[in-house]
Amino acid sequence: MSSPTGPSFEVPDGLQSLLQDFTVSVLRRRPTNLVHFAAAYFRRLDLVNSAVEGDAVAVLTVPAREDSGAETDDDLDIAAAAAAAAAEAGKVPPWRANRRPSVAAPSFDPEKSEATYQRKIVPKSDEQRRRLTETVKHILLFRSLDRVSLSHVIDAMQELSVKAGDMIIEQDQEGDNFYVIERGIFEAYVTDSVSGERRLGVTYNHSGSFGELALMYYCPRAATVIAKTDGVLWSLDLDTFQQKVLMSAFKNRKKYEAFLAAVSLLSELTHYERQNVADALKEREYDDGEPILFQGDPGNEMFFVEEGSVKVMRRHSDNGLETQVNHLEKGAYFGELSLITKQPRAASCYSVGRTRVCVLHVSDFERLLGPCLEVMRRNIDSYRSQLREIFGDATSAAAAPLRVEASV
């Protein structure tokens, strides 16, 4: 269908919901290769939908993550290692009794769930709370939580002692809990519905987490997880997982999107590219006068001023005294010089008042800000001119030749 002014398109039913789900998944996992992740995501979704319709089993075949050493913490990683497997008949512990049958339901809608959420508190001793707090420090999904939300998550988690042979989750059953491993070895298997062949997917050795995929999408479990040894797990219920973990990721993304839209540098990026930057940001807060970075240190991060302000100080080589060379307000950025020149920090930066910054790691810098590098290069040339005016020479690391290695 077309109009006098040009073609007109009808948005298919379900497209908005589909893209929203994908966006939340990208935000949660922060993939290093978005194209590979998208291919795996929609392949998985197609197989899950086929399973719900009775045409195929909900089993995924997904490329391994590029970021070596990254935590393998969910059903996506479980399914990545094998296309099928049949879980051995295992002893069902008391805490798995009376599980609900598998159902298909709409995926999590973060904007609608808050009104119905009721906080859950499972009593814990001081020792249990200490152990749990230490355990969740390394869980990727919890890193975006603020202090209050993390406290609510810890309040809601329940300790589970498991024995070797216990079946923790069962493939094709409904997911009702997310699990964090304190200790013990756990093996994940997936089952081919046609051949009945079982293959080992992932082995967890005393760390990690699993089970969130089914909670996010109300889809059947993609694998069976069995305890290989005695161990201890902490379980988090569906409502708390969605309301605290997913809602936190959703709110952070919305907040960062609004902030980044006002950053002049990012006018070079498309809306989609700015969303990717929002997904990669980490937030930090500093008290008045607190150092954010030091002159001479290696640089592996870039900063955006979200609230407050920052003073940029340059140290004299002869007497060691610092001179202020810039003052940065909300929406400004700094720290990019070292990332572009591959040189140590050319100045120190200090918080002025209570200041909040968003941090972009070097691993994401060129991948996400490639289109902005020319703008940053012009700004760096201006900054160098300011340094020469103040210090009368160009012998500092700031005068080193630029080596722009954009990766678009």
- Residue type for position 307: E
Partners of residue 305 on adjacent β-strands: 357
Please check if 221 is assigned to a binding site: yes
The model's pLDDT over 51-82, given as tens digits with 9 standing for 90+, comes to 333 332 233 223 233 333 333 334 443 433 33
Identify which of 231, 239, 176, 235 has the alpha carbon closest to the alpha carbon of residue 205: 231
Confidence of residue 371 (pLDDT cuts 50, 70, 90): confident
Is 212 assigned to a binding site?
yes
Banded pLDDT at 283 (limits 50, 70, 90):
confident
Across residues 1-21, what is the average pLDDT? 64
Task: Round to whole Å and give the CA distance between 199 and 192.
Answer: 9
- Which H helix or E strand runs over 180? strand 177-183
Helices (H) and strands (E) in the chain, counts: 13, 16
In whole angstroms, how far apart are CA 75 and each of 105, 171, 193, 215, 329? 18, 10, 17, 10, 43
- Please list, in sequence order, all residues whose beta carbon lies within 8 angstroms of the beta carbon of residue 270, skipping any fewer than 6 positions away: none
- State which fold the 261-399 domain adopts: Jelly Rolls (2.60.120)
Tell me the percentage of the chain whose pLDDT exceeds 90: 27
Among 243-257, 292-306, 309-323, 375-389, the minimum mean pLDDT is found in 375-389
Predicted confidence at residue 39, as pLDDT, reads 74
Q: Is the pLDDT of residue 5 over 70?
A: no
User: For the chain, what's the residue count?
Assistant: 408
C-alpha–C-alpha distance, residues 276 and 270, integer Å:
10
Whose CA is closest to 348, among 315, 396, 306, 307? 315
Q: Of 273, 274, 253, nearest to 262 (Cα)?
A: 274
Please calculate the CA angle 221-227-231 and round it to the nearest 5 degrees.
125
Is 30 known as a binding-site position?
no
Answer yes or no: is pLDDT of 252 > 50.
yes
Say whether pLDDT at 200 is over 70. yes
Average pLDDT over residues 114-118: 66
pLDDT over threshold 90, residue 145: no
pLDDT (0 to 100) of residue 184: 96
Task: Give the C-alpha distances (Å, rounded to integers) separating 356 from 101, 301, 302, 317, 345.
Answer: 46, 15, 13, 30, 20
For the stretch 338-360, pLDDT in tens is: 888 888 998 999 999 999 999 98
Could you give the angle at which helices 271-280 and 362-369 cross, rounded to 10 degrees? 180
CA angle, corner 340, sides to 381 and 278, nearest 5? 110
With helix as H, strand as E and coil as C, how does 141-157 read? HHCCCCHHHHHHHHHHC
- Choose from 22-36, 109-123, 160-174 the range with maximum mean pLDDT: 160-174
Of 8-22, 135-149, 164-178, least confident by mean pLDDT is 8-22
For the stretch 171-198, pLDDT in tens is 988 888 999 999 999 999 988 878 888 8
CA 161 to the chain's CA centroid? 29
Domain 15-248, CATH number (from 3.20.130.10, 3.40.50.970, 3.40.630.30, 2.60.120.10): 2.60.120.10
> Does residue 153 surpass a pLDDT of 80?
yes
pLDDT at 7 over 80: no
The whole-model pTM stands at 0.50
Lowest mean pLDDT among 240-254, 271-285, 327-341, 386-400: 386-400
Is 345 part of any known ligand binding site? Answer: yes
Q: Is 105 exposed, middle or buried (0-12, 13-18, 19+ CB in 10 A)?
A: exposed
Residue spans of the domains in the chain: they are 15-248, 261-399
CB 211 within 8 A of CB 175: yes
Residues 6+ apart with CB under 8 A from 396: 317, 346, 387
What confidence tier does 9 reach under pLDDT thresholds 50, 70, 90?
low
Q: For residue range 298-323, list pLDDT tens digits in order.
A: 998 999 999 999 999 998 888 888 98
Name the residue with tokens 């070097």: 362
**Helices within 4-125 (DSSP H only):** 15-29, 34-52, 75-80, 110-113
Contact 29, 115 (CB under 8 A): no
Instruction: Report yes or no: 107 and 17 within 8 Å, Cβ to Cβ.
Output: yes
CB 233 within 8 A of CB 180: yes
Per-residue confidence at 236, pLDDT binned at 50, 70, 90?
Answer: very high
| E strand or H helix at 204 | strand 198-205
Torsion sign (Cα): 70, 132, 74, 117: negative
